[in-house]
Amino acid sequence: MMKSSGPLFCMMVLSTLIHTVSDVSAQDSLDAPFWKSVFSDNHVLDIRIDVSREAWDGMQPSRERDQRNENRYSYSRAKITIDGQPFEDAGLRFKGNSSFRGSGPRLKKPFKIDLNRFTKGQKLHGRTKLNLSNSFLDPSFMKEKLGYELYRAAGLPTPGVGWANVTLNLGGVAEPIPLGIYVLVEQVDRRFLANNLGKDSKDSLLMKPEVEDLYYIDDDPNSYHSYNIKSGEENIEQLRAFASLLKLIENGSETAFEREIGERMDLKQFAGYLAATSILANLDSFVGMPHNYYLVMDKADGRMRILPWDVNEAFGTFTMFGGAETLARWDIDRPWVGRRQLLERLFRTEDFPKLYRAALAELMQQAFTEELIFGRIAEFKKVLSSYVAKSDKIFWLNGETLRHKPAEHLDGFLMGIEGDSEGFNQAVGRKILSIKPFVSRRIQSIETQLSGESDGSALGRRK
């Protein structure tokens, strides 16, 4: 079971995203080979979405929902066929923030599929939900898989990541619409917690906060619904423990904080999260925006753990706080932006900065090297090249008319990996480094910072 970082994983672990623990159920064991084929062996799922035009229109976010930022997307009914297996009357909705907005009028939007939404008991090898990322700023379709692998190497439970080739049959449109490759990401839920943390953690308090900073409200466990509880809200003791932790962070004396924080949080695991986030310059996360993370108040030992989520803007892609070159040189000694009470207090303690530095140095030696990362890119390139070459059109609806234009996907695919002569990704509408140039420059910067030869670049909100 993965409770803390311990020794960081080598390349063999990086290539294995199916997590086997001794307490996995018999049914999980039967389903595991299929998900291993998807998440580890790079079997690309074939997914066909059949949805009526009325249902598609009903999925569009309304202005009212956008303004409240609540229940932004609604499920509609659709037929989903996966590798030839039909799932009638399944749930389909959009997902994402910038990935949805960035798709504009294009039909290739990020989706969440819930096979069990309207027809109870429908599952694909034990799973009911699938997350499909449209990879709108990553024409290589590799950043999420590579990013989660680094977090995994840092000792964190991470979702399995694979790919799906998606076709849309939209009511009123005569021909099937090939949307092309999507990044497929495992759902974080009770099952995920059991498989990654152990059966005693299955019913833990699981939250996905969208708050400016972790803040204490009061001692009433019913006051914390603003932390976007996903499961375990019936666990009053975990809610009380969460409130008590926030109270310690916000109001505890320096002595009390340093004495008690290790009993309330898994500090090795948190140090690993910060180390991987720093290396990846993943600012669209807890350390930047902050969002795209889960918090777990673990029933097994009562400690809080953080889980990464939605790492599509890792590798220096999120430029709100600094340009591409600045992100590649980001200061490793302040791996956050703005005010973060928890991080500021942790880095004032004697022991946590050492944990963080050790995790970062070990990742740089064992996981974030050109040999390992470039090797994984070469493997993924073999899998994806033929699919990307076939995705030769971008589709969108103009009123009632389907439009399309050449996508030049293969050129964009290679551009997303290699970059132009200066290392930039000219296939997207944001000035960012492509994966290989970012990796090379980030390695050079971190190595010189660790050796004391140079200082990193500070980040701040850009005007």
Name which residue leads in pLDDT, 19 or 278. 278
Length of the chain: 463
Does one domain contain both 80 and 172? yes
Structural domain boundaries, residue 328:
199-357
Q: Which residues contact 42 (CB under 8 A, 6 or more apart)?
A: 162, 163, 379, 380, 383
Does one domain contain both 263 and 151? no
Is position 42 within any domain? yes
Asked if 345 and 118 touch (Cβ cutoff 8 Å), the reply is no
The CA-atom distances, in angstroms, between 424 and each of 292, 419, 433, 446 are 25, 5, 4, 20
Separation of alpha carbons 163 and 138, rounded Å = 14
Does one domain contain both 374 and 394? yes
For residue 71, the tally of other CB atoms under 10 A from its CB is: 10
Residue 378, pLDDT > 70, answer: yes
Residue 221, pLDDT > 70, answer: yes
Is position 2 within any domain? no
Asked if 327 and 335 touch (Cβ cutoff 8 Å), the reply is no
Chain mean pLDDT for the chain: 92
Does one domain contain both 181 and 323? no
HEC secondary structure over 321-359: CCCHHHHHCECCCCCCCCCCHHHHHHCCCCCHHHHHHHH
Q: Which residues contact 287 (CB under 8 A, 6 or more apart)?
A: 274, 277, 278, 335, 336, 337, 340, 343
Separation of alpha carbons 360 and 337, rounded Å = 18
Is position 344 within any domain? yes
Copy the structure tokens of residue 128: 């009911």
Is position 461 within any domain? no
Domain boundary among 163, 191, 219: 191
Does one domain contain both 298 and 263? yes
- Count how many domains the chain has: 3
Is position 24 within any domain? yes
Does one domain contain both 224 and 274? yes
Separation of alpha carbons 186 and 308, rounded Å = 12
Domain boundary among 357, 380, 412: 357
The one-letter amino acid at 463 = K
Does one domain contain both 217 and 101? no
Is position 365 within any domain? no
Question: Smallest Cα–Cα separation from 290: which of 308, 302, 304?
Answer: 308
Domain boundary among 298, 327, 357: 357
Does one domain contain both 45 and 185? yes
Does one domain contain both 176 and 238? no
Separation of alpha carbons 117 and 100, rounded Å = 22
Copy the structure tokens of residue 150: 């680094």
Does one domain contain both 231 and 168? no
Asked if 271 and 356 touch (Cβ cutoff 8 Å), the reply is yes
Per-residue exposure over 297-336, b if at least 16 CB sit within 10 Å of its own CB, e if not: bbbbeebbbbbbbbbbbbbbbbbebbebbbbbbbebebbb
Alpha helices in 252-266 (DSSP H): 254-264
Peptide bond into 290 cis (omega under 30): yes
Helix, strand, or coil (residue 258): helix
Is position 286 within any domain? yes
Q: To the nearest whole percent, how much of the chain has pLDDT over 90?
A: 85
Q: What is the mean pLDDT of residues 436-451?
A: 98
Separation of alpha carbons 239 and 245, rounded Å = 10
What pLDDT, on a 0 to 100 scale, did the predictor assign at position 4? 45
pLDDT tens for residues 255-314?
999 999 999 999 999 999 999 999 999 999 999 999 999 999 999 999 999 999 999 999
Does one domain contain both 315 and 382? no
447 pLDDT band, cuts 50/70/90, is very high
Is position 362 within any domain? no
Does one domain contain both 168 and 122? yes
pLDDT tens for residues 30-81?
999 999 999 999 999 999 999 999 999 999 997 654 444 445 799 999 999 9
What separation, in Å, do the N-terminal and C-terminal C-alpha atoms of the chain show?
A: 44
